[in-house]
Every structure is written in structure tokens, then in C-alpha cells.
Amino acid sequence: MIKRIKRIFSDSFSLLQGLAVTAKYLFSPAVTLQYPTQRWTPPERYRGRVALRPKKCISCQMCVRACPNYSLEVKFSLGEDKKRKLSGFIYHLDTCLFCGLCVEPCPTAAIFMNQEYELAVYERKELVMDLTEADKNVE
């Protein structure tokens, strides 16, 4: 009997402790962001979409081979000096799984993953992009 009464008091006390916890949170600042007006800065090594530094690319196709989903196509032409000249870098965002495996084998660090995270579009064909156009000015 005494044990039971003790239990009632200790349990009631724990209820008050619970209320104290939520009271603390009630007055602590919110952790969420008001999205379109407040934005989040992704960490440095965040894997957004695949991006290209067109001037550095030597069209070696290492990234195409590394890609598990065949999401990359490199188009090139042979110059007079038998060197490959990049003419198009097609990126299929719809099949990309953001694994970053294409970034690792690149011998010139031409391909990387940027910080973009708002990648939704209205039509599926907009997901296929030519990175020599889209990232024309990326150095």
C-alpha cells in the first residue's frame, strides 16, 4: 500500500518533469526554416547535380564508364592533331542517382557535384541537359 502511494507521487512528479521538458522547448528557437524566403546553405561536400568544367574535360569517357545508370554521354570530335575535342556532355538527371562515382575517376577534375538542390522541373525532357551549355561559364 505504502509502495503504491509512493508510486503515485513519483509518477505524478515525472509528469511534471515531462511538462518542464516541453516548456523548455516552447521557448527555445525553432529549428525549421521558412523555406522560400529562408534558405539552407548545403555543406561543402554536398552532392547536388553533376556539373562540368568544360575547359578541363579531355573527353576520356572515364565518367561514362563509371556511371552505374548510364546517365552520362560524352560527345566529341577528333581534331587535326588527333586530339579529342568535346562537343557535347549530355547529363540525364532523371536517371542519375547522385552517387558521385563519376567524379572520382576524372583525371582532370573536370566533373564535380555542385550545391544545387532545387532540381524539380515541369517536364521530363527538361531533365536531360547538355552540360557544355548549362555549365558554360564554370571554371
Partner 1 sequence: MMFKISPENWAFLIEFAWLCAKAAGLLGFVSLSVMFLIWWERKVSAHIQSRLGPMRVGWHGCLQTIADTIKLLLKENIVAKDTDKVSFWLAPLVSFVAAFLPFAAIPFAKNLVVQDFGLGLLYIFAVSSLGVIGVFMAGWGSGNKYSLLGAMRASAQIISYEIPLVLSVLSIVMLTGSLNMTKIVEAQGQVWFAFSQPIAFLIYFISALAETNRAPFDISEAESELVAGFHTEYSGMKFSMFFLAEYTNMFVVSAIAATLFLGGWQGPFLPGIFWFLAKVYFLIFLMMWIRWTFPRFRVDQLMNFAWKFLVPLAFLNILATALFLVLKK
Identify each DSSP E strand in the chain by its residue range.
50-52, 72-78, 84-92, 111-113, 128-130
Beta strands in 12-62 (DSSP E): 50-52
Q: Does 18 bind partner 1 (CB under 8 A)?
A: yes
40 contacts partner 1 (rule: CB under 8 A): no
Size of site (CB under 8 A) for partner 1: 15
Task: Please name every residue paired with 78 in a beta bridge, in sequence order, or none if there are none.
Answer: 84
The residue within the footprint of partner 1, chosen from 6, 7, 13, 23 (CB under 8 A), is 23
Give me the least distance between CB of 6 and partner 1, in Å please. Answer: 15
By CB under 8 A, residue 5 contacts partner 1: no
> What's the min distance (Å) between Cβ of 39 and partner 1?
15
Taking the CB of residue 130, how many other CB atoms lie within 10 A of it? 16
